[in-house]
Amino acid sequence: MQNLYNLNVAALDVLPTPDEIKQRLPLSDVAADTVFQARETVKRILDRQDPRLFVVVGPCSIHDIDAAHDYALRLKTLADEVQDTLFIIMRVYFEKPRTTVGWKGLINDPCMDDTFRIDEGLQIARRLLLDVAELGLPAGTEALDPIIPQYISDLIAWTAIGARTTESQTHREIASGLSMPVGFKNGTNGSLEVAINALQSAAQPHSFLGINQLGQSAVIRTLGNHYGHVVLRGGDRPNYDSVSIALCEKALRDKKLPANVVVDCSHANSFKDPAMQPLVMRDCTHQIMEGNQSIVGLMIESNLCWGSQSLPADRSQLKYGVSITDACVDWETTEKMLRETHNKLKTILPARNAA
């Protein structure tokens, strides 16, 4: 009977299938090589076969494609400069989890006007990822919606599972089938247990509902992802200090998991103040200089310009290169942070792996 289902559904709009989107925007050989080589590099870093740190750096979220291209071009030049010490991955986040309501990201609402043209958002996102990969610059993102990876994951080198979703069975299942290394953030309250449980879960095979490349409902059966790792992003207090890192190492060892730690320099670790991010990165750098063996990566929220802005009613009033979600450091600060870390660690990291 019609009064038994979809009572609160206003519409069901059919999307192009993943295969149709990929036919419109096919993976080039250059882009495919960028993604493959980047995934292998991150795996080697996690396996301690590559002494470098990987650094996921870029805007809190992408809302302006022109600014994203501008940022990517600058980052590629800087990545080449520091590549012997730091392996740079551009943060290309298209989905934003909201505590209550708010803009959900470029894929969900590309026009930023609550029209939710997800069909357009998927194509805009894929086009940007292709452009970035064809520069030779790998991209990292957050997996939030369980369907979207079928449209874009072939262009992603590294994936994060956010603090709000690390405890979610759905996201642990997704991570178990993803083809790239996955970082699980600690809980919003700082809990390490949820992230460590997620590592154990995602390493195991799972079977769950999803869609295939033709958009058909399918049972997805995974092999498990053995390149999961913890991302410390703070909670009720920051957790990048040496004591917090040591406690994380112990918790990982107790579960017989590799002591691989990535530190997010933003979010609760910086009290959402971009001015604190360089201090967090400097502290982690000094820990490595003093003998730390577990920090393998860092995350930075960075944009062309400093800070953040609210969405104005007149979108033409948006400031170029300024985040519309979390506040970011500007490009000049980003350069300083990465160059400083590069210079301090270029003789340290090779010796660390040899230890």
- Could you tell me if 26 and 59 are in contact, meaning their C-beta atoms sit under 8 angstroms apart? no
Task: Give the residue-averaged pLDDT of 106-125.
Answer: 95
Q: Cβ(296)–Cβ(53) under 8 Å?
A: yes
Do 323 and 311 form a contact (C-beta atoms < 8 A)?
Answer: no
Q: Which residues contact 33 (CB under 8 A, 6 or more apart)?
A: none
What structural domains and CATH numbers belong to the chain? 13-354 (3.20.20.70)
Say how far apart CA 203 and CA 151 lie, in whole Å: 23
> Percent of the chain at pLDDT above 70?
98
Token pair 């990876």 in the structure block, residue: 149
Look up residue 250 and give its two tokens. 């112990």
**pLDDT tens-digit series, residues 13-39:** 999 999 999 999 999 999 999 999 999
Mark 251-273 as b/e (b = at least 16 C-beta within 10 Å).
bbeeeebbbbbbbbbbbbbbebe
Q: What is the pLDDT of residues 277-314, one digit of tens each?
A: 999 999 999 999 999 999 999 999 999 999 999 998 88
Tell me the pairing of strands 207-211 and 217-221. Answer: antiparallel
Q: How far apart are CA 185 and CA 109, in angstroms?
A: 25
Query: Residue 355, class by beta-carbon neighbours within 10 Å (0-12 exposed, 13-18 middle, 19+ buried)?
Result: exposed
pLDDT for the residue 282: 98
At residue 141, φ and ψ (nearest 5 deg) are -150, 180
Nearest-CA neighbor of 125 among 162, 87, 154, 160?
154
Contact 208, 219 (CB under 8 A): yes
Please name the residues in contact with 123: beta carbons below 8 A apart, sequence gap of 6 or more: 21, 24, 25
The band of 351, judged by pLDDT with boundaries at 50, 70 and 90, is: confident
The mean pLDDT value for 160-184 works out to 97
- Name the CA radius of gyration of the chain, rounded: 20
- Count other C-beta atoms under 10 Å from residue 317's C-beta: 9
Q: Is the pLDDT of residue 191 over 80?
A: yes
